[in-house]
Structure 1
């Protein structure tokens, strides 16, 4: 189905299950830190860091964003605008399936090799030299995929807000939820490509012998950090 209510409900269900997975990883973190020397993971720093990565990625990209934007946005935006449907219903469905596919890739990355043990920020040089197996590559591919879904959804939200309003709904009469959804979509549209570019550089450094972040060959590991801050996470 490409009905906006069906897609919104699907996003909420996806976010619920991803949130349960993230909660399990959160519980593992707390149990591991509950006593000296480790509790569950046998003192393995790689497994612990992989759990950290999974928890951060699942909670942010697969619980908070799908539920609050994909779920509530798809449900409420057309209703509040007096529109019969989103502007691009099939793109709406496609963005959901991109997100679901990305969720499977992220889970798969935990069970491939030693897991994505770079923590959720994926900072080099740990994400280049310290993670030689393909698990981190699968994680990055999953992030690229969910980013595509986010971009498609952001475009859909913005076009719907601009072009699908009922005649009586002028800009000054739009509800605050519609305005916040529109501005959030605009910020996503501007910021997601920055993250995609920094992750693409990371993939190239890991697999194609480039040196964007490798200081031994003239690169700058701080470049990734600055791109990450510019993307919208200056707290890390």
Structure 2
């Protein structure tokens, strides 16, 4: 969650900004950290090279080494970034919107962001 929505959602809600601007920064920098971990994993050992066999039970077959651990941690950091962004979107939509913009008159793009954020949070194990 993020990107173009960080710019458009507050504009469509007639809000001043996202509800937690620091969460936007945290979400962005977690993605940068995730990318760095992914790049580092390519240079450790011989790279991950796991394709879709990253998680157990297939991860124990032929994927020893630290690079796979870097990739798994990178995926978890990217997931945390997405969760933080979706929480920020939902709080913005429900708490920061202008009094003029009721739920009935919210643009469809904002509703898609809300539904996507909700589904992301509900899908957590």
Question: Which of the five TM-score ranges fits, normalised by the shorter chain?
Answer: over 0.9
Q: Does structure 1 residue 85 correspond to structure 2 residue 17?
A: yes
**Shift in Å, 1:129:** 2.9
The TM-score normalised by the length of structure 2 is: 0.93
Aligned residue among 87, 90, 102 for 1:158: 90
| Cα separation, 1, equivalents of 2:110 and 2:64 | 45
**Aligned residue runs from structure 1 range 21-60, under 5 A:** none
Which structure exhibits the higher relative contact order, with contacts defined as CA atoms closer than 8 Å and separated by 6 or more residues?
2
- Provide Cα deviations, 1:66-92, integer angstroms capped at 9, x if missing partner: xxx411110100000000000001111
**Shift in Å, 1:137:** 0.3
What runs of 5+ residues in structure 1 fail to find an aligned partner? 1-68, 195-236
Residues 53, 59 of structure 2: 8 Å contact kept: no
Q: Does structure 1 residue 72 correspond to structure 2 residue 4?
A: yes
Query: Aligned in 2, Cα 1:120/1:100: closer, same or farther, shift over 3 Å?
Result: farther
What runs of 5+ residues in structure 2 fail to find an aligned partner? none
Q: Kindly report structure 1 stretches of 4+ aligned residues shifted beyond 2 Å.
A: 123-126
**Shift in Å, 1:179:** 0.1
| Cα separation, 2, equivalents of 1:164 and 1:86 | 8
Q: Which residue of 2 aligns with 1:101?
A: 33
Aligned residue among 117, 121, 125 for 1:189: 121
- Larger-gyration structure (1/2): 1
Q: Which residue of 2 aligns with 1:175?
A: 107
The TM-score normalised by the length of structure 1 is: 0.51
RMSD: 1.4
Stretch of structure 1 that moved more, 104-113 or 176-185: 104-113
